[in-house]
Each structure stands twice: as structure tokens, then as C-alpha cells.
Amino acid sequence: MERVRLADGVPSPDLSRLVYGVWRLADDPAGCTPAIVEKKIEACLELGITTFDHADIYGHYRSEKLFGAVLASRPDLRRQIELVGKCDICMISEARPQHRVTHYDSSPEHIRRAVEGSLANLRTDHLDLLLLHRPDPLMNAEETASELESLVRNGKVLHLGVSNFTPPQLDLLQSRLDLPLVTNQIELSVLSVDALLDGTLDQSQRLSRRPMAWSALAGGALFRDDPRAVRVREALSRVADRIGTDPSQIEPIALAWILRLPSGPLPILGTNRIDRIERAARACSITLERQDWFEIYEASLGCEVP
């Protein structure tokens, strides 16, 4: 699988073209023992997927520890992978009884504590990339930027980015940083197309910063029976049939639709099933023709483009 530089013209990590997300790692019906988690990591590596997307809150604060247990027993794996971490969401959870309401915290103290917790949970001495998970209305950009730069200076984090930020929110934080924000991780799929129109992907292309696309298969919504999902599935199947692939296997086409965007998004896979990871990887060998891309886009919009 192709590896890509996340940002051009600035210090930036090289990541795999597809990313494996551990959001559902703790919810695998087959279990989440170290042996099961290790099998998924190995399956990803065999496909060339070397980048793993984490957040401290995933699995109600459990997923990092599950992944870290594998790295503790297999330290050789750490040299083969890139770890993406996220922080600043404080969710209601039995693991955090002090949280009365879900909220965001971009204060230096919270960021420092969250990163140190992630490093301990993941059994590593650094994160390859740290993202602020959600824009915090109470963020003091000066203070937050100072702490982020301190984490880089101390070697605990190698690169910085954001997640779910609007272009002005990204610009604000970047204006206080001497280091580049190398990505914005956003919701993007054939059923979530706002980023195409609200300036987010335009900003990514202007800055030469590849975005990361979470919920790249719409979090399962693509397979529901509502009219929009049915319409999009039918378009995906038609395109699959037209290019000579199995029309019942629509996931690679849906991911290829994202990969076709000129800002170069990196889709994040969220499945616990190895067969679906393998199927998704086929997207990297598909380049959609322009009219096929627009056929899918119009199915999502429910009308022809103007």
C-alpha cells in the first residue's frame, strides 16, 4: 500500500494511505484479548496499513490499554507502526466518575495529563501525531499552543494536528503555533459531504495538508434502509459493475470516492472484521472516473448538481 506524506513543505509524518481506527476495538463481539487485537494489527500490517488512530476516550477509556497490552508483549511492532492520539473530550464514563457532563478541555493541564496517560496506556514513549479531538469554545489559543509545543520539544509528541475543526478554528490555533498543524481529521464519506462545500477541504488543499476522514463508511449508516442510503448503495453498485468489480462489494468503491478527492484524504477504517479490512484495502487500486464520482455524489445529494 502507498505511503504518503501528510503535509508538504513542513515537517510531517509519512502514514499509510488507509488508517485503522480503534474506536470499536473494545466492542468486538469476538472479544478483545491481546491475541485477538494482535491478529488485527498483524492483518493490517500485511496489507500495508501501518497507521493506527487512537483517542483516549475510545472504548470508554479502554481501547488504548487493549492496544498497549499487545505492544508490551510485542515491542517489535512499535517500530513498524505510527500511533495517532487524540485528546480534549471528557466524556461521562464509569472510568471517569468526576465527569458530571461531557465537555471539552484544551487546558494545558488536561492536555499534558491526557498525553501522559495515553503514553502509559499504549506502552510507548511518544505519539507520532497528536490531534485535539474537538474544538473547545473555552480554548485559550495561546496557552493551548504553548503546551502542544512543549510536548513536541520534550519528545512526547512528534507532530500536531486537529480534528473536527472549522477552517477559522484551525487558523486561530495555527496563528499561535510555530509548528505546523499537519492535518484536520474530519467526518467524510459518501453520506457526509459537508466538508466538500464548507471550505474545509479547500483549506486542506490550499495548505497542502492531507485531511484524515473518520467514519469513512458512514458508521454503518450506508447499509441502512433509508432512501438516501439505498440510493447511494445502488449508485455504488452500478459503478462497481461498470469498472468490473463485484457490485455487491461496495465498500472499496465508497472509499475510492474519498481517495479521488484532490486534497488527498486518508480514510480511517473502523471495522473489527479482518475480512472487511481486506476488502477495504482494495480501494487503493481503484481510481474512479470523473463521471462515476459525480454519479455517486448526486445520489448522496438526491439531485443533479446545479
Confidence (pLDDT) at 190: 98
Confidence (pLDDT) at 52: 98
Confidence (pLDDT) at 184: 98
C-alpha distances out from residue 208 to 134, 182, 191, Å: 22, 9, 25
Helices (H), 63-213: 63-73, 108-122, 141-153, 167-175, 200-207
> Among 58, 61, 104, 297, which one carries the catalytic annotation?
58
Confidence (pLDDT) at 40: 98
Confidence (pLDDT) at 284: 97
Whose cell is 445529494? That residue is 301
Antiparallel, parallel or unpaired: β 14-16 and 3-5: antiparallel
Confidence (pLDDT) at 289: 98
- Is 58 a residue of the active site? yes
Global confidence as pTM:
0.97
Q: Which residues of the chain are under the pLDDT cut of 50? A: none
